[in-house]
C-alpha cells in the first residue's frame, strides 16, 4: 500500500513514531497526482512547491518533538471555494480564474495552523452550483472508481482527490448535499456538520443560510480528526455558533448499544435505486445486530424539500453573486463598452457559466416585487415545517439513517442537459441544509463496482452521535 492510500490517522501515528516523514507522504501524494490527474482532473491548482516546503517544516517539528496536531504534516486539499491568501481561488469559474484572495478563510487558517500540508485547490461545480462537478470552467472531475462516471458534486474534486490518494483529507462545502453526494459517489466518508459549527468566513457564498464547510476523508476517524480542527466559534462570522467543540475522536468509541435510529419512511419510496435500498437495509440490519433500536419515523414535508431548496438557494445566490461585476476584481470583458451597464452585462454574460446564470435568473425572479410572497416567503414557511418535522422525529430517535442519493454515480454528460433530473439528486440531502442539521455520508457497499452511500443524520450540534454510529458501522464491517 502506498503512503497516499493510507488514512490520516494511520499516517499521524507513523509520523509520531517517526517511521515516515511528511516529505515522503507528500511526495507519494504528488506521484499519485502525476499518475492520475490527467484522467481525473480533481485539481484546479496544485501547490507542489509550497507543499514540499510545508512538509519539510512539519518534519523539522517532528524531529524537535514540537508537532502541532495529529494533522501536522498530513497532505490536505481545499475545495477551490475556500479563500487562500496568495493562492488563486477560482470557485470553478472563469469569473475568478485569476482571483488571488488577500486573506485566508478561517477554516483554511485553522488547518494550516495545525501543520497540515496544502497540496492544492480542488475542482468543483462553478460557485458550488451542481451535483456532478461537470459545471466547472476547468472541465469535469471524473470518478476515480470509474472515470466514465461523475464524481458527484459540487465538492467532486475534493472527494475524487481523497478517493484516488491525491490527498489524504480534504475540506469541502455543502449547500444542498455537495459534500455528502460526492463522498457517496467516490466511496469515501464526508460530513456536513451543523450550520454554525464551522466558520463560513472565507467560504465564497453561494447560499448563505445553507452553506456549510465540511470535511472529507477515507475513514470516519479522519473526518472526526479534521472536524475537531476546523470547528469553533469565529467572531468574523455572525452566523457561527457559540458552542464548545467536543472531542469528536473520543466520541467514536462509545459503541452502538441502546441507540435509537430512525428510518424516515419518506426516504425509501419510489425513485430510490433498489440496489442502494438493499445495501442500506443490510447496513441497518448490521446496526441492529450491534444493539441499536430501529424505529420507523415520518418526515411528512420531505417531498417539498428540493423545491424549497431551489427557491431559497437561488434567491440568496442571485444576491451573493452580484459582486462579480468586473469593477473590483476578477474577470472583466475586454470588449469595447459605452457605459457601465454594458460592462456589467458583457462581463457577467461571458464570465459566468450556464448553470450559474440559470440560478441567478431563477433567484432574481423569486425575489422580484409581486413574487416574493408566493415564492421566497412561502419557501421560508415550508423550510420551517421541514425543520419542525425533524424536531418532532428527534423526540423519538437519537439519529436517522437514509440513502445519500437516489442513484448510483451516473455517466458524464448523462444528466447535464436535464437540470431538473440533476436537481432531484439532492432529494435526500437538501433537507439537512434547510434544517441546518448535521449529516454524514459513508460507504455501505458497492453495486457492480459502484459505491452506495448511507447518510446518518443527527440532532443539531450532535455530530458526536453521527460519528459514533458511522464509526460503529465501519468497525463492524471491517471486523
Tell me which residues are annotated as active site.
79, 154, 178
Please give the Cα distance from 99 to 203 (Å, whole number): 14
b/e map of 389-424 (b: 16 or more CB within 10 Å)?
Answer: bbeebbeebbbbbbbbbbbbbbebebbbeebeebbb
Q: Is 322 in the site for another protein (CB under 8 A)?
A: yes
Q: Is 89 in the site for another protein (CB under 8 A)?
A: yes
Q: DSSP assignment, residue 130?
A: -
Piece of 12-20, 59-67, 196-204, 430-438 that binds another protein (CB under 8 A)? 196-204
Q: Which three cell numbers stand for residue 25?
A: 507522504
Kindly tell me the sign of the dihedral angle through the C-alpha atoms of 49, 51, 52, 56.
Answer: positive
User: Helix (H, G, I), strand (E, B), or coil: what is residue 26?
Assistant: helix
In the complex, least distance from residue 428 CB atom to another protein, rounded to whole angstroms: 23
Please give the Cα distance from 101 to 90 (Å, whole number): 10
Contacts of 34 (CB under 8 A, 6+ apart): none
Q: Is 393 in the site for another protein (CB under 8 A)?
A: no
Given the complex with another protein, which of 82 and 220 has the nearer CB atom?
82
Q: Which three cell numbers stand for residue 147?
A: 472515470
Contact 463, 193 (CB under 8 A): yes
* Contact residue for another protein among 73, 144, 177, 202 (CB under 8 A): 202
In the complex, least distance from residue 169 CB atom to another protein, rounded to whole angstroms: 21
Q: Is 118 in the site for another protein (CB under 8 A)?
A: no
Q: Is 126 in the site for another protein (CB under 8 A)?
A: no
189 to 7, 144, 217, 403, 471: CA distances (angstroms)? 11, 15, 5, 14, 10
Given the complex with another protein, which of 322 and 374 has the nearer CB atom?
322
Q: Is 97 in the site for another protein (CB under 8 A)?
A: no
In the complex, least distance from residue 90 CB atom to another protein, rounded to whole angstroms: 10
Q: Is 185 in the site for another protein (CB under 8 A)?
A: no
Q: Is 57 in the site for another protein (CB under 8 A)?
A: no
Rg of the chain in Å (alpha carbons): 21
Site map (CB under 8 A) of another protein, residues 344-373, x = contact: x-------------------x--xxx--x-
Piece of 32-40, 259-267, 319-327, 442-450 that binds another protein (CB under 8 A)? 319-327
In the complex, least distance from residue 358 CB atom to another protein, rounded to whole angstroms: 17
Closest CA to 222 of 395, 70, 62: 70
Q: Is 96 in the site for another protein (CB under 8 A)?
A: yes
Given the complex with another protein, which of 17 and 328 has the nearer CB atom?
328
Torsion angles phi and psi, residue 271, rounded to 5: 105, -20
Q: Which residues bind to another protein, rule: CB under 8 A?
A: 81-83, 89, 91, 96, 99, 101-103, 105, 200-205, 207-209, 235-239, 315-316, 318-319, 321-325, 327-329, 339-341, 344, 364, 367-369, 372, 376
Amino acid at each position: 500500500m502506498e503512503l497516499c492510500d493510507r488514512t490520516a490517522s494511520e499516517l499521524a501515528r507513523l509520523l509520531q513514531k517517526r517511521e515516515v516523514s511528511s516529505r515522503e507522504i507528500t511526495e507519494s501524494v504528488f506521484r499519485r497526482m502525476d499518475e492520475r490527474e490527467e484522467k481525473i482532473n480533481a485539481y484546479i491548482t496544485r501547490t507542489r512547491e509550497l507543499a514540499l516546503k510545508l512538509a519539510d517544516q512539519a518534519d523539522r517539528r517532528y524531529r524537535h518533538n514540537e508537532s502541532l496536531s495529529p494533522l501536522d504534516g498530513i497532505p490536505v486539499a481545499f475545495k477551490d471555494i475556500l479563500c487562500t491568501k496568495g493562492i488563486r481561488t477560482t470557485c470553478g469559474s472563469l469569473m475568478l480564474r485569476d482571483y488571488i484572495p488577500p486573506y485566508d478563510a478561517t477554516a483554511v487558517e485553522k488547518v494550516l495552523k495545525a501543520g497540515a500540508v496544502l497540496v492544492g485547490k480542488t475542482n468543483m461545480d462553478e460557485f458550488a452550483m451542481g451535483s456532478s462537478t461537470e459545471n466547472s470552467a476547468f472541465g469535469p472531475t471524473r470518478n476515480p472508481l470509474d472515470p466514465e462516471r461523475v464524481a458527484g458534486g459540487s465538492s467532486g474534486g475534493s472527494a475524487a482527490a481523497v478517493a484516488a490518494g491525491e490527498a489524504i483529507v480534504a475540506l469541502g462545502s455543502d449547500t444542498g448535499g455537495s459534500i455528502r453526494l460526492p463522498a457517496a459517489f467516490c466511496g469515501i466518508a464526508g460530513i456536513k456538520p451543523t450550520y454554525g459549527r464551522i466558520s463560513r468566513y472565507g467560504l465564497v457564498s453561494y447560499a448563505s443560510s445553507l452553506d456549510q464547510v465540511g470535511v472529507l476523508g477515507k475513514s470516519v476517524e479522519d473526518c472526526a480528526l479534521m472536524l475537531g480542527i476546523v470547528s469553533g466559534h469565529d467572531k468574523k462570522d455572525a452566523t457561527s455558533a457559540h458552542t464548545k467543540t467536543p472531542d469528536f475522536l473520543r466520541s467514536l468509541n462509545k459503541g452502538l448499544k441502546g441507540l435509537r435510529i430512525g428510518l424516515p419512511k419518506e426516504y425509501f419510496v419510489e425513485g430510490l435505486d433498489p440496489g442502494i435500498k438493499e445495501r442500506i437495509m443490510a447496513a441497518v440490519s448490521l446496526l441492529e445486530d450491534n444493539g441499536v433500536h430501529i424505529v420507523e419515523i415520518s418526515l411528512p414535508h420531505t417531498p417539498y424539500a428540493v423545491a424549497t431548496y431551489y427557491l431559497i438557494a437561488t434567491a440568496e445566490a442571485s444576491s451573493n453573486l452580484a459582486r462579480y461585476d468586473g469593477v473590483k476584481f476578477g474577470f472583466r470583458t475586454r470588449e469595447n463598452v459605452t457605459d457601465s451597464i454594458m460592462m456589467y452585462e458583457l462581463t457577467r454574460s461571458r464570465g459566468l457559466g450556464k448553470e450559474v446564470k440559470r440560478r441567478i435568473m431563477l433567484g432574481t425572479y423569486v425575489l422580484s416585487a409581486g413574487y416574493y410572497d408566493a415564492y421566497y416567503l412561502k419557501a421560508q414557511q415550508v423550510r420551517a415545517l421541514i425543520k419542525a418535522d425533524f424536531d418532532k422525529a428527534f423526540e423519538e430517535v437519537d439519529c436517522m439513517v437514509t440513502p445519500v442519493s437516489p442513484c448510483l454515480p451516473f455517466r458524464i454528460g448523462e444528466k447535464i442537459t436535464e437540470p431538473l433530473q440533476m436537481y432531484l439528486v439532492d432529494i435526500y440531502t437538501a433537507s439537512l441544509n434547510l434544517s441546518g442539521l448535521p449529516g454524514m455520508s459513508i460507504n455501505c457497499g458497492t453495486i457492480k463496482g459502484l459505491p452506495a452511500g448511507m447518510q446518518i443524520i443527527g440532532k443539531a450540534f450532535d455530530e458526536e452521535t453521527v460519528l459514533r454510529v458511522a464509526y460503529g458501522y465501519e468497525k463492524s464491517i471491517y471486523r
